[in-house]
Structures are given as C-alpha cells and as structure tokens.
Structure 1
Amino acid sequence: MHEQQTSHPRYKSEGQAARPSYPPAQKLMVWVILGIAGALLAASYVYSGWQFVILFLLGFLIGFTLFHTNYGFATVYKQLFEDGNTQMLRGHMQKLLIATTLFALILGTQTAFFGERPEGAIAPISTGLVLGSFLFGFGMNIGSNLAPQAMRTMKGGRTALLFTASGFLIGSTFGAAHFAFWNHSMPNAEAVSIAEDTPLGFTGSWILQTSIFAAVIIGTYLHQKRKLPPPLPPMPRGTNRTELLFRSWPIWVGATAFALLNAAVLMVQGSPWKVTAAFSLWGSKLADQIGLGPAAWRYWGEEAPVHELTNSIFTSSVSVLNFGIVTGALLTMALAGLFHFRKIPFHLAGITLIGGTLMGYGAAISSGANVGAYFSGLASMSLHAWIWTVMAVSGVYTAYFISRKLPFLASK
C-alpha cells in the first residue's frame, strides 16, 4: 500500500521539477468549520473554563501542524524498507529527542499550569501491549488514510477517510470493552518508568534516550548517503496569498513544532497528547446509549475516569484537545481546497474500515497509538513505549509483505 503524493489537480513547474499546487479555498466549508470551532470553543469555556479553551487552541495548532508535516508512522518505516530513504525517520527521531528533553524538565521539576501535577504516558507491560501494538501497526498500514500526510493530498478529503475514522471509533470501543481481559486476565507486569523506577533517574534516562535518538539520526543519515535513495516527492504549495499559509515546512520544523506543542499540552492538561482515549470515550458514550453498560468495563476507572461517561464531553480534557485537532486539520484542508467526498470502490471502503478497526482495537488494548504510546510514551521515558514501538513496526512490515502478495490491499 504505497502512498502516492502526486494526485493533485494542478501542477506548476519549478525549473525542471513539478510541484503540486492547491486549488482555491472552499469558502463555504471554511465558514462552516469556523462556526463549529467557535461553538466547540464556547462550550469548552462554559463547561470547563480557560484551561480547556487553551487546550482547544493547542489542539487547533496541532491540527494545523499535522497538515504541514510530511510523515506519519507506517509511511516512515515502509519508506525505510522500500527505498532506503531515512529523511522522515530522522524527523521522528528529532521530534522524540526534543520532546524527551522537554518532558524530562517538566516531569523532573513537576512544572505545570492550572495547579496540575504533570504525569507522563506510563503504562503496564502486558499481553494487550504486545498484541495491540502489533495490530495497530498492521491496521495502520492498510487503513492509513488517517496518516498526517494524507491530509495534504486529494485523497486526504476522500470518503475513505470516513471509513478509517469510523473503524477506529468501533475498534477503540471494543478494545475498551476487552481491555481487562488482555491486560489483567492474560500475563502482565507493572508499569516501568525508566526515569523514576530505575537508578538512572531523569538525568540518566534523558542521556540514554537522547543518545539512542541521536545515534539513529547519524546512522540513518550515513545509510542514506551510501544508498542514495530517490528523494521524497515534492511538497505541495499554495497559490498567491495562500502560498504563505501552505508553504511546505521542512521536516525538522514540523518535528520541532510537534515536540513544543506536546510539551505545552503536558503543562496545561497535566498529561501529554493522546488520541485513542478520546475515541474510546466517544464510542463508550454511544455504547451506553444503546444499553451496553460500558461503566462495568474495567477500562473505566483504571485507564480513564469513570465519571467521564456521565459528565458532559466538554469536561473531558482529552476530548476538547482532540476537538481542536480535528477542527484545525479540517479548516486547513478546506482552506487548501481539499474537501472532496466521492464514491469509492466497495473493496477500498472495506479495507480502510478493517484497517481503522484494527488500529482502534489495538490502540485501546495497548494503552495508546502512535501518539499516546509512541510519541508521548517515549518522551515520558516509559519502558512500555519501547515495546510498543518494536511491535507496531513489526505490524507495519507484516502488513507490507502481505500487501505485496495481495495487490488489491494496495489499491488506494
């Protein structure tokens, strides 16, 4: 399932190379999304005050940044295998290096706003962690319309995105229902913070992790120089006034922005950026409406506060943050003219729905996805995040090899 980035309606030549150009802004969609964002922002203030207003705005900035980044999760590791291009992987390592540094300072000094006591994304070692992270990586490789770079292309606004997101909602809800089985009934162990549960402390853990990230950056740079893989596809740009707004960001700029924004979320929310918890909450609220009784699931009370099931959704910080992310990303897509919902083949709808469901289920039982477990988990210096990363990458490669044997899985 190789992701093409050349499906843009217009191209402008830059010397001998063609760079995709965005169509005009979809003004009606822009105003609709702005209206929705304003309503969400007002509700966040009414129910939860300025802290949640700031969280919403931070989420909005994250959504804007997602649009400008040129790397997701599955794509990074597929490119490493397919072409030997390590540029996006180095962006990941830079993002993690900066975030680990900031998290070490914040968590080590217990610095936060609004009276919060910051806690990292630390989770137990369990069967759910191992299986779930593998399923997430596998599912993301076949349902990757949620990948950030997909938002920049024509397919970013495609109907397939709705199937992937719907599958993620379904999967994360079932994952919450089965959370206790995979994480308590099956073999498990306590959570381990490399910074707090080992003699290394925050300083030693910071040195260890940043040394690993720096070594990967140097090693992959030398590998790419030796292999000379094809360059990444040219990034699209805006036209006239929109060129300033949509000018492509170098990978290092996106990586730095993500690290800074996640650190800001940690200081405002008291916990770092997570995605899956919001989907599990939204799905569980729907399950409650049809009488499935999610309050009895051990996920609620252990992984997330049970009162969130009955309280307003605007009292959930993770929901408000993700509302901001979604509206920020969608507004930027509309400004770039990338909302295009068309009829898609039945098999594509099925594949993306299955991929999204595997992603959601795997993320819920493994306590996070490529944001909460990988990005925030590694930045928090949690041992579970390293295990999650190994298993998720294994899932990506397994799906990649299967897709080569079954070409219809690669049809996008």
Structure 2
Amino acid sequence: MTQKKVHSSKTNKSEPTLKDSQNVLTILGILVILLISYFAYQASGLEFVLLLWVGVLIGFSLFHARFAFASVYRQIVETGNTEMLRAHMFMLGIATTLFAPILMFDISAFSNITEGALSPISIGLVIGAFLFGFGMEMGSGLAPASFYTAEGGRTALLCTVFGFLTGAVIGAYHFGFWNETLPSVSEFSLATDTGLGYFGAWGIQAAIFALIVILSYIYKKRKRPPLLPALPTAVGWKKIVFGSWPLWVGALVLAVLNATVFVIQGEPWKLTAAFTLWGSKLLMNLGMDVSQWQYWIAEERIVALMEPLMMDSVSVLNLGVILGTFISLTLGGMIRFSKIHFHLAILALAGGFLMGYGATISFGANIGAYFSGIASFSLHAWIWALMAILGVSAAYTVGKKFNLVQR
C-alpha cells in the first residue's frame, strides 16, 4: 500500500495530505550529505561532521514542526494569531535555560572559546532590523503559506534566496558605514553588564516570556483571531518522518539543537553570515577583492573568507540545515516548481534583497540576532526583534494600502 493510500484512509479529511516520497531526490540528498561529511572530516575532523549532522536535524525539525521564524511577526500583524508567538516564547525560554550554564561554566565539547551571540547596538542594527522585517513581509517567499502550500511557492522561494544572497553581499560592502562610521555602543549583556549574573538575567527574561504568553492569551480571548491553517500530515509513527509536529515539540527540539551547536562549536547557530560568506567568496573567484571591506576586517571573518569552505563551521552547519530541509521536502513529495506572475517574482527578489541587506548590517536575522541573541542575553537582540516587527507592520500597511500583494 502506498503512503498516499494510507493517508487517504486514516487522516482527517479536513487536513491536507503529503504526496508520495520523491525517492530518487531523497537518495541524492543523502549521498550529498555523506560526501560533505567526508570532506568536512578531512578538513576539520569530527567537530564539523557533528555540526553538519546537527544542521541536518535542524532542517528536518524546521520542516516538520513548520516552525516559522519569519512568519511569527507576520501572523501577529496580519491576522492577530499568536499561537506561533507562544511557541517562540517556549523555545526562547528553553534555549535561555540551556544557554545560561553553557556561558556561565564555559562548556565546550572541543575546547573552543565559548562566545554568545552578542553584538553592538548601532544605527545599522536599528535600520537593518527594520529593513529585514519590511523585506520579510514584502517578499513572503519564506513564509509558510508560500513555502509549503501556495502555487509557485518553491519558485518564489528561489527568487527570495537569490535576493537574500545579493543583499547580504552588498550589506557587507556597506557594513562599515552603518556600524563603524555612524554612532554605536558596545555589545551589552543582560547577565554580565548589569550585575544580575546569569541567574538574575535568566529570571528577567523568563518573566518577559511569561508576560508575553499571558498577554497573548488575553488578546486571543478578546479578538478570537483565525487559527493557523491545517498542514499536510500523516498518522502513527509516520507523523515523525512525514507529518507535521506540534509547535511545542518543534520549539523544544530547536532549542536543544541550538544548545548542542553552542557546545560543539563554541557559539550558537547563525545563518546570515553563511550567505554573506558564500556571496563574497563568489565575488573573489570572479576577481573582486572584498577583503578590504570593513565587514571582513574582523579577524575571525577574514580567516573564514580566506580558508576553504569546509573549514568554516557556520557554512558546514547551514549546509546541513539546507540539506535536512531538502530531504524533508522530498520525503513529503514537495519538491516542485511552477510559474509565478512576474510582479510576484519581483516582490520576492526585492523582499529577499532587503532581508539579506538588513540582516547583514544588523548582525544577523531571525536566527543569529533573534533566537541565538536573546538566548545569549544580548540587549541588541531585543532591539532587533522590536524593529523587525515594526518593519513587518510598515510593509503590511503599505501593501494593503496600495494592494501590492494578493493573499
């Protein structure tokens, strides 16, 4: 009996079902993971192999929990749904709890120096986070509605990713202006720069998470926003591999996996830096000297730029995330592309560009600046989250006023 027949006989008719697995693509993805594992081991040993496979697990978890980092803000602004917001607070609470002892006791599996995702407070942070939020709403190819269900969603995603890569590189070129030329304040830890210590800072952040959850429930009771749409699923044990997980499961798993990344490489999960590196390396191969850009002057960044890709932990980790997501899509029969309207492609490109540019000048995006930043007790992360929400709200208002995007 095929997987499709099992779904049709046992799942709720109101829930969409996944298509048959794309086995050839799944095997291809596994072979690529094994090949990269070999090269990663040759270049950097067991540490990077572990990072690659943790990345695969992250990609697998992101897909199956449908855990949207981008759309949580969009849901608040567009529909008022706060279900994903509560899941985020749970995830951040778990991550904060796990990060605190790692930072306090300098826990590292491979004797790396433990460094949280702390960044300065600058004009680039404020402007970049706003641009990221604006672009995220404008080019919604990374939102669940487009990525998982909408016609042409995968095509739109490719446009968004290309725009993101381009924006990230140009953001690196302008990085010095936004963060060095204009006024800025040094990184600020709620734990070590306030006298609270990690236990005190944990208590403050836990109280904030709890308050947000309580307010979201009050809002839900008063406004009764629409529920999140049903997602493709399966039954029984197949739900682990093929179906959708509860949001709280995704939140828990992602928090644990981010802490695992922290212990392995000495710093938590970051995403944007990989795109900036890949795009800059491409320009170098085309003959452009990017090493003089202010972004690459920092010692750890210039080393990554000059060394082979398999010796960069951020790249290896995020290759794993991409491949883990790819295999999850193939298992669900979801690798498919279709034509999209020209104006939607332009919106996806432009939105992706703003996201990449904004993320680079603001020291990260939903992963490095928000998820890992807040879990690392960095003040800049809270500022980033606020400005990103304002950016989403502004883009939604503009789009609604001028009818730019059809939902």
Task: Classify the TM-score, shorter chain.
Answer: over 0.9
Match of 1:89 among 85, 88, 97: 85
Q: TM-score, normalised by structure 2?
A: 0.94
Aligned to 1:7: none
Unaligned runs of 5+ in 2: 1-6
1:51 maps to 2:43: no
1:126 maps to 2:122: yes
Match of 1:380 among 366, 376, 380: 376
Between the aligned partners of 1:69 and 1:169, the Cα distance in structure 2 is: 26
Aligned to 1:137: 133
The range that moved more, 249-258 or 138-147, is 138-147
Aligned to 2:286: 290
Between the aligned partners of 1:139 and 1:304, the Cα distance in structure 2 is: 29
Between the aligned partners of 2:11 and 2:253, the Cα distance in structure 1 is: 30
Match of 2:386 among 380, 383, 390: 390
Q: 1:363 to 1:408 in 2, by over 3 A?
A: same
Offset of residue 379 of structure 1: 0.4
Asked if the contact 1:71/1:149 (under 8 Å) is kept, the reply is: no
Between the aligned partners of 2:271 and 2:85, the Cα distance in structure 1 is: 21
Number of residue pairs aligned between Structure 1 and Structure 2: 402
Unaligned runs of 5+ in 1: 1-10
1:173 maps to 2:173: no
1:5-404 mapped onto 2 (5 Å cutoff): 18-147=14-143, 150-153=146-149, 158-238=154-234, 242-302=238-298, 304-404=300-400
Offset of residue 239 of structure 1: 7.2
Amino acid corresponding to residue 214 of structure 1 in structure 2: A
1:107-148 Cα shifts (integer Å, max 9, x gaps): 011111111121100000111001000000111112232246
Asked if the contact 1:135/1:358 (under 8 Å) is kept, the reply is: yes
Asked if the contact 1:172/1:357 (under 8 Å) is kept, the reply is: yes
Between the aligned partners of 2:254 and 2:299, the Cα distance in structure 1 is: 25
Q: 1:179 to 1:131 in 2, by over 3 A?
A: same
Between the aligned partners of 1:244 and 1:307, the Cα distance in structure 2 is: 39
Match of 1:274, SS? coil
Q: 1:347 to 1:118 in 2, by over 3 A?
A: same
The range that moved more, 160-169 or 342-351, is 342-351
Q: TM-score, normalised by structure 1?
A: 0.92
Amino acid corresponding to residue 143 of structure 1 in structure 2: G
Between the aligned partners of 1:344 and 1:191, the Cα distance in structure 2 is: 43
1:317-342 Cα shifts (integer Å, max 9, x gaps): 00000000000000110110001122
Between the aligned partners of 1:155 and 1:268, the Cα distance in structure 2 is: 39
Q: 1:71 to 1:15 in 2, by over 3 A?
A: closer
Asked if the contact 1:263/1:272 (under 8 Å) is kept, the reply is: yes
Offset of residue 362 of structure 1: 0.3
Between the aligned partners of 1:74 and 1:406, the Cα distance in structure 2 is: 23
Offset of residue 77 of structure 1: 2.4
Between the aligned partners of 1:48 and 1:244, the Cα distance in structure 2 is: 32
Asked if the contact 2:96/2:374 (under 8 Å) is kept, the reply is: yes
Match of 2:354, SS? helix
Over aligned residues, Cα RMSD in angstroms?
A: 2.1
Asked if the contact 2:147/2:157 (under 8 Å) is kept, the reply is: no
Query: Runs of 4+ in structure 1 displaced over 6 angstroms?
Result: 13-16
Amino acid corresponding to residue 138 of structure 1 in structure 2: F
Asked if the contact 2:152/2:340 (under 8 Å) is kept, the reply is: no
Q: 1:329 to 1:15 in 2, by over 3 A?
A: closer
Aligned to 1:8: none
Between the aligned partners of 1:141 and 1:93, the Cα distance in structure 2 is: 21
Asked if the contact 2:141/2:153 (under 8 Å) is kept, the reply is: no
